[in-house]
Amino acid sequence: MTSLKHTRYRQFFPSLNGNNQQIAYLDSAASTQVPEQVLSEIEKYYRQGHANVHRASHSFARNATNAFELARKTIAEFIGAKAQNIIFTSGTTQAVNLLADGLAHLVAEGDHIWLSEMEHHSNLVPWQQLAKRNNAELKVIPVLENGDIDLGYFRQHISDKCKIVAVTHVSNSIGAMQPIPELSRIAHQVGAKIVVDGAQAVAHLDIDVNRLGCDYYLFSGHKLYGPTGIGVLYGTEQALEQIKPSVFGGEMISKVSFEQSTWNTLPYRLEAGTPNIIGAIGLASAVQFLNQFPLKERLSVERSLLNYALQKLEQHPQVELVGKPMMRVGIIAFNLRNVHPQDAATLFDQYNVALRCGHHCAMPLSNTLSPRGSIRLSLGIYSEQSDIDQALDAINKIMELFDD
């Protein structure tokens, strides 16, 4: 496959070609499109023979097991981890819930759980409910006016009562990137575990969980050019051992009697039931697709496009940016003056521009920065300058409607 300098990403994505080639798809933070390579791998698996994994001895089962475990290894290497430290889930949401249930024994009455003000609801509500069940206290790292978290506040107020810190690596609503290595250091100083929601980071950054220093790192396949229904929970060996299983059944069992049961070894102890085999294979194929391109070049292309979009939107007299974080990846939140975000998004669609509007499943942050919500523009590997220009042209046409 040729270098990105000499080809267009979009040609590898059938959903953005043919009848859909006029669509400026700028909603990749919600879900990315899927390249042909992944679609072909999924079809090939089913055509060549499907079977359950880790059970039967026939060839279909052996092939399925080998493909599933190879997928685990491929995904682990993508984030600098070992295969045995990768737990497959249905997505980031299930991974957070698995942790909130499995780490509940670490949180006693009066203990603290720290979150940031910019968390997605999926990394907020499970911890909120754990705090209520265990009579613990939910603490919040506030957001500064520009959208960055107040790291100084966190340093000043965290104490040894803190047992868990759960933060996003990249905000899904404004694209703000958090200093995870520093947050990990602060959490570990007081003996707390740190959980990082990497759903919006994994497709846009060079992720190495060892450099990040976190105990757990979570992400979803459908935001990484893979299928829906598959996700990853990474944990250090010590951190994974502290998770008590909360879902029981096949695969996670070692021995069973009517009197008691014993659990399997990791990672299978936390993967009850038949896993999403094709989801894991599809996600590994998406990782392989990305690995065909030089990482620095891929990130450079996205950075150039993000800077272009930011410059154009900042200069537009009818655009109000929501949040101006110091470090961000390919997400921009904004509003059009005197136009409700929902109305704007509906009109964008009329001009073949796909954007997201609303609170972006992050209502606390939205209430702080833009109570009526916002419009979110988010980039993918297939995004091009023409998509940004199409969105800017749509803004001009929308504002003409409201000026009349």
Residues 270-314 have pLDDT tens digits of 999 999 999 999 999 999 999 999 999 899 999 999 999 999 999
pLDDT(87) > 80: yes
212 and 256 belong to one structural domain = yes
230 and 355 belong to one structural domain = no
**pLDDT digits 0-9 by tens, 187-201:** 999 999 999 999 999
299 and 173 belong to one structural domain = no
**Region 59-64 average pLDDT:** 94
Give Cα separations from 272 to 43, 103, 218, 247, 249 (angstroms).
25, 17, 18, 6, 5
**pLDDT digits 0-9 by tens, 152-173:** 999 999 999 999 999 999 999 9
247: pLDDT confidence band, cut at 50, 70 and 90?
Answer: very high
Q: Which amino acid is at 68?
A: F
pLDDT score at 55: 86
pLDDT score at 21: 83
Last residue of a domain, one of 291, 322, 348: 291
Question: Model pTM?
Answer: 0.95
pLDDT score at 390: 97
pLDDT(210) > 90: yes
Long-range contacts at 335-338 (CB < 8 A, ≥ 24 apart): 335/370, 335/372, 335/374, 335/375, 336/375, 336/395, 336/398, 336/399, 336/402, 337/399, 338/402
11 and 89 belong to one structural domain = no
Calpha distance 57→198 (Å, rounded): 37
CATH at 25: 3.90.1150.10
**Region 327-349 average pLDDT:** 94
pLDDT score at 6: 41
Last residue of a domain, one of 259, 291, 323: 291
Strand, coil or helix: what is 198?
A: coil
**Catalytic residue positions, numbered:** 361
How deeply is 307 buried, as exposed, middle or buried, from its count of CB atoms within 10 A (0-12, 13-18, 19+)?
exposed
74 and 195 belong to one structural domain = yes
74 and 182 belong to one structural domain = yes
What's the structural domain count of the chain? 2
Q: 328: domain range?
A: 4-34+294-403
**Region 366-381 average pLDDT:** 95
pLDDT score at 404: 59
CATH at 220: 3.40.640.10
pLDDT score at 4: 39
61 and 197 belong to one structural domain = yes
Calpha distance 217→235 (Å, rounded): 7
pLDDT score at 2: 38
- The answer to whether 273 and 129 have CB atoms below 8 angstroms apart is no
pLDDT score at 73: 98
pLDDT(132) > 90: yes
pLDDT score at 165: 98
27 and 53 belong to one structural domain = no
Calpha distance 303→290 (Å, rounded): 16
**Region 12-21 average pLDDT:** 90
Last residue of a domain, one of 229, 256, 291: 291
pLDDT score at 20: 83
- The answer to whether 382 and 33 have CB atoms below 8 angstroms apart is yes
What region, left, alpha or beta, does residue 89 occupy, with left being phi > 0 and alpha being psi -120 to 50 degrees? beta
- The answer to whether 187 and 194 have CB atoms below 8 angstroms apart is yes
210 and 353 belong to one structural domain = no
**pLDDT digits 0-9 by tens, 384-396:** 999 999 999 999 9
Calpha distance 234→214 (Å, rounded): 10
165 and 213 belong to one structural domain = yes
272 and 344 belong to one structural domain = no
217 and 86 belong to one structural domain = yes
